């Protein structure tokens, strides 16, 4: 599989772009004309620079407003093409992309346009060059790949091929199955892009909101399956126009791009195993069976404070590590690890972020295969030297700098608690009725959010729920749920656009720590709330006004509302009658908190309507030393995810 990316897809000058593209593992690059024109080197120097980075130029693009022009514009257009052919030969590439005409002066007509391409094919062939024709979704006469193919077919010249672009096809809801009838050897190059579903002008949508395959809502996999069925075996190239990417890290965006192509083609291969494109073998997306543990890094003092909060929630210290300063707290099927080591990654994480949940352990079917897939998709495996008796738990670095460990039922990994802590791997009884981790909420800067989404959906067998935009008095927080079909893994990603929101404040004050809260599942939240109160747990206080409105809005019985009011429990109900109960702790450290939830009747949401009321309560309970910073701007934090 030859991978490529257009220089317009990432930020930086041409040198920075090429360095990032090469480092990410791409084979080739599309030289976007504006990037070339802005560079202060000759075409030969650019071509040499590309090759010095181990890349090839897959295409030079775009050439605009070519076909169907009246004279004398037609003659001038051919003169322009010849000059670009000169540039191509000096660059060292043989393919030019020509996008469908948008000029109001163009005449259209399939035969007229085909004749233009037939002549152009002759001129290109004399120089050993090729041209590819792409249907822009907003083209004046050609805006459908079927019409573009008809022009190419009638031109009937070996130097003239078709360019397929997933965005232009999918944005117009064109049936991708029509691609299967196109001969693969007549396709010059395939360009790929995803995008969120939006109802807006096609040109504006295309120029500002494209993203990597897997980050958006378009059926790019279906598109690529149809392409694979044609027998096409050429380069797969990303062409991404995105305002956010233009201001992002070239290295990070390039890595995302390569990851997206590998993950996409892995899925295509599983649907179209006989395709001509050679795709690396890697394990399938991993099914997660649950969150095995969450590990905190803390100082001795903060570990003591955290232990007190956990004890108030019904956890007990089950064991200490055989030779490390690490404690294990348990309740139900929940394992919380508190690491106070003075060396290693946990300590480094504490030094940078303060007390934080720096590692998550996931239970999977095959831990080694999970790491293999993650490594093939650009993730970094993690190993930390230890004693020979220590269990080597497979792990990778997460996108936020933390760790993700993997355990399975194979070999010694199934005995992790016995080997490391000397306790049985059994469910621990708990007085408070907490049974599992319902979801893990992670917070990041909004511009990094697509990277997080792609990371999770490409490695794990998960799906994205629709993004929720939550208006925060201090700005906007965007919330995206990533979850498995069975709910064994639920991650809520909250993207903060500025530090005036509670989510943004958490990132700023913790210097980028990602896990902002853990949600524990209860089998009976009222019994849990009473048990916690008896143990000295201080629940986040909710305004009495919330309960008066709740009773009227949802026509709840006064008795149930009174029970919730007395325990500071929030409530939501979906259209199918599913119910959701929520109880929050006060903040721990710089904005971290715990949530306790109970789901009834198949409720699958996350209590989004309760966000403003929970946020207001958190603002009231903010630590005095942080109050001044937050008083300058009202705060809030995403939805109740």
Q: Could you please report the per-residue DSSP string of 418-441? A: HHHHS--SSPBP-TT-EEEEEEEE
Using one digit for the tens of pLDDT, what is the confidence trace for 51-82?
999 999 999 999 999 999 999 999 999 999 99
The pLDDT value recorded for residue 362 is 97
| Domain stops at, among 421, 450, 475 | 421
Residues 131 and 212 in one domain: yes
How would residue 462 be classed by pLDDT, with cut points 50, 70 and 90?
A: very high
Give the mean model confidence (pLDDT) for residues 415-421: 91
Percent of the chain exceeding pLDDT 90 equals 81
pTM of the predicted model over 0.85:
yes
The pLDDT value recorded for residue 471 is 63
The pLDDT value recorded for residue 401 is 85
In a domain? residue 349: yes
The pLDDT value recorded for residue 587 is 86
The domain tally of the chain equals 3
- Poorest-confidence range of 36-40, 502-506, 600-604? 502-506
Residues forming a β-bridge with 433: none
How would residue 608 be classed by pLDDT, with cut points 50, 70 and 90?
A: confident
Residues 342 and 236 in one domain: no
In a domain? residue 279: no
The pLDDT value recorded for residue 638 is 42
Residues 232 and 317 in one domain: no
Q: Which helix (H) or strand (E) holds 227?
A: helix 220-228
Between CA 527 and CA 44 the distance in angstroms is 75
Residues 371 and 446 in one domain: no
Q: Is 34 exposed, middle or buried (0-12, 13-18, 19+ CB in 10 A)?
A: exposed
Between CA 176 and CA 190 the distance in angstroms is 13
| Closest alpha carbon to 41 in 77, 3, 87, 78 | 87
Q: Which residues are annotated as a binding site for a divalent metal cation?
A: 134, 165, 191, 239
| Domain stops at, among 396, 421, 446 | 421
Between CA 193 and CA 211 the distance in angstroms is 6
The pLDDT value recorded for residue 142 is 97
Boundaries of domain holding 219: 3-271
Is the pLDDT reported for residue 527 higher than 50? yes
Determine the Cα angle at 276 with ends 271 and 280, to 5°. Answer: 70
Residues 76 and 156 in one domain: yes
Domain containing 595 — which CATH number?
Answer: 3.10.180.10
Using one digit for the tens of pLDDT, what is the confidence trace for 249-305?
999 999 999 999 999 999 999 999 989 999 999 999 999 999 999 999 999 999 999
Structure tokens at 539: 């629940």
Percent of the chain exceeding pLDDT 70 equals 95
| Domain stops at, among 222, 239, 271 | 271
Residues 259 and 140 in one domain: yes
User: Residue 358 gets which letter from DSSP?
Assistant: E
In a domain? residue 636: no
The pLDDT value recorded for residue 385 is 79
Using one digit for the tens of pLDDT, what is the confidence trace for 554-584?
999 999 999 999 999 999 999 999 999 999 9
- Secondary structure of 129-197 in HEC code, one letter for each residue: CEEEEECCCCCCCCCCHHHHHHHHHHHCCCCEEEEEEHHHHHCCCCCHHHHHHCCHHHEEEEEECECCC
Structure tokens at 442: 């992670």
Give the mean model confidence (pLDDT) for residues 163-186: 97
Residue of 407 and 502 predicted with greater confidence:
407
The pLDDT value recorded for residue 617 is 84
Residues 254 and 321 in one domain: no
In a domain? residue 278: no
Residues 241 and 365 in one domain: no
In a domain? residue 430: no
HSE, side-chain direction, 13 A CA sphere, residue 88? 24
Token pair 């395959």: residue: 213
The pLDDT value recorded for residue 612 is 79
* Contacts by residues 505-510 (CB-CB < 8 Å, ≥ 24 positions apart): 505/590, 505/591, 505/626, 505/629, 505/630, 505/635, 506/443, 506/590, 506/591, 506/592, 506/637, 507/443, 507/444, 507/445, 509/590, 509/591, 509/626, 510/353, 510/354, 510/356, 510/589, 510/590, 510/591, 510/592
Helix pair 449-459, 250-271: axis angle to 10 deg: 30
Residues 135 and 192 in one domain: yes
Domain containing 30 — which CATH number?
Answer: 3.20.20.150
Is the pLDDT reported for residue 150 higher than 60? yes
Residues 253 and 297 in one domain: no
The pLDDT value recorded for residue 525 is 97
Structure tokens at 502: 């509670």
In a domain? residue 7: yes
Between CA 410 and CA 511 the distance in angstroms is 37
In a domain? residue 330: yes
Q: Which residues are annotated as a binding site?
A: 134, 165, 191, 239, 439, 517, 595
In a domain? residue 282: no
Residues 399 and 470 in one domain: no
Cβ distance 193 to 238 under 8 Å?
A: yes
Is the pLDDT reported for residue 427 higher than 70? no
Using one digit for the tens of pLDDT, what is the confidence trace for 84-100?
999 999 999 999 999 99
Q: Which residues are annotated as a binding site for Mg(2+)?
A: 439, 517, 595
Between CA 328 and CA 321 the distance in angstroms is 8
The pLDDT value recorded for residue 641 is 62
User: What mean pLDDT, rounded, does the chain reach?
Assistant: 92
Residues 357 and 394 in one domain: yes
């Amino acid at each position: 599989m030859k991978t490529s990316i257009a220089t317009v897809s990432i930020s930086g000058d041409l040198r920075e772009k090429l360095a990032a593209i090469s480092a990410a593992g791409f084979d080739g690059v599309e030289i976007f004309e504006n990037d070339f024109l802005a560079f202060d080197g000759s075409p030969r120097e650019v071509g040499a620079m590309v090759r010095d980075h181990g890349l090839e130029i897959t295409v030079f693009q775009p050439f605009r407003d070519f076909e169907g022009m009246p004279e004398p514009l037609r003659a001038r257009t051919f003169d322009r093409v010849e000059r670009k052919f000169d540039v191509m030969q000096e660059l060292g590439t043989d393919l030019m992309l020509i996008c469908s005409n948008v000029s109001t002066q163009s005449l259209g007509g399939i035969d007229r346009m085909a004749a233009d391409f037939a002549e152009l094919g002759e001129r290109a062939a004399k120089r050993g060059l090729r041209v590819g024709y792409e249907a822009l979704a907003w083209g004046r006469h050609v805006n459908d790949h079927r019409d573009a193919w008809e022009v190419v077919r009638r031109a009937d010249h070996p130097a003239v091929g078709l360019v397929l672009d997933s965005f232009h096809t999918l944005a117009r809801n064109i049936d991708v199955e029509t691609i299967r009838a196109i001969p693969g050897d007549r396709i010059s190059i395939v360009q790929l892009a995803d995008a969120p579903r939006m109802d807006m002008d096609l040109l504006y949508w295309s120029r500002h909101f494209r993203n990597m395959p897997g980050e958006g809502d378009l059926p790019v996999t279906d598109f690529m399956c149809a392409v694979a069925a044609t027998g096409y075996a050429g380069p797969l190239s990303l062409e991404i126009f995105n305002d956010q990417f233009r201001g992002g890290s070239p290295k990070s965006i390039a890595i995302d791009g390569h990851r997206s192509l590998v993950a996409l083609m892995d899925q295509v291969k599983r649907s179209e195993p006989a395709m001509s494109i050679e795709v690396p073998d890697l394990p399938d997306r991993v099914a997660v069976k649950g969150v095995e543990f969450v590990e905190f890094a803390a100082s001795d003092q903060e570990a003591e404070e955290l232990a007190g909060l956990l004890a108030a929630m019904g956890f007990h210290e089950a064991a200490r590590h055989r030779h490390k300063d690490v404690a294990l707290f348990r309740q139900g099927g929940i394992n919380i690890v508190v690491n106070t080591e003075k060396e290693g990654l946990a300590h480094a994480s504490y030094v940078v972020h303060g007390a934080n949940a720096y590692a998550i352990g996931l239970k999977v079917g095959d831990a080694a295969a999970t790491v293999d897939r993650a490594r093939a998709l650009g993730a970094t495996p993690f190993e930390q030297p230890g004693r020979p008796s220590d269990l080597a738990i497979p792990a990778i670095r997460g996108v936020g700098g933390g760790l993700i460990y993997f355990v399975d039922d194979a070999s010694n990994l199934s005995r992790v608690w016995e080997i490391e802590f000397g306790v049985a791997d059994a469910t621990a009884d708990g007085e408070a009725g907490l049974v599992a981790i319902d979801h893990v909420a992670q917070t990041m800067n909004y511009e990094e959010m697509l990277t997080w989404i792609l990371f999770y959906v490409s490695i794990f067998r998960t799906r994205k729920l629709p993004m929720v935009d939550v208006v925060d008095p201090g700005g906007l927080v965007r919330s995206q749920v990533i979850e498995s079909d069975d709910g064994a893994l639920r991650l809520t990603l909250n993207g903060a656009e500025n530090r005036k929101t509670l989510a943004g404040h958490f990132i700023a004050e913790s210097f980028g720590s990602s896990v902002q809260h853990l949600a524990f599942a209860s089998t009976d939240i009222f019994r849990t709330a009473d048990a916690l109160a008896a143990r000295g747990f201080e629940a986040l206080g909710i305004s009495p006004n919330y309960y008066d409105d709740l009773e009227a809005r949802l026509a709840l019985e006064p008795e149930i509302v009174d029970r919730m009011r007395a325990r500071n429990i929030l409530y939501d109900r979906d259209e199918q009658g599913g119910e959701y109960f929520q109880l929050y702790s006060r903040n721990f450290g710089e904005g971290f908190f715990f949530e306790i939830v109970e789901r009834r009747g198949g409720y699958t949401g996350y209590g989004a309507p309760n966000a403003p009321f929970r946020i207001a309560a958190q603002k009231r309970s903010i630590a005095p030393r942080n109050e001044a910073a937050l008083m300058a701007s009202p705060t809030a934090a995403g939805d109740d995810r």
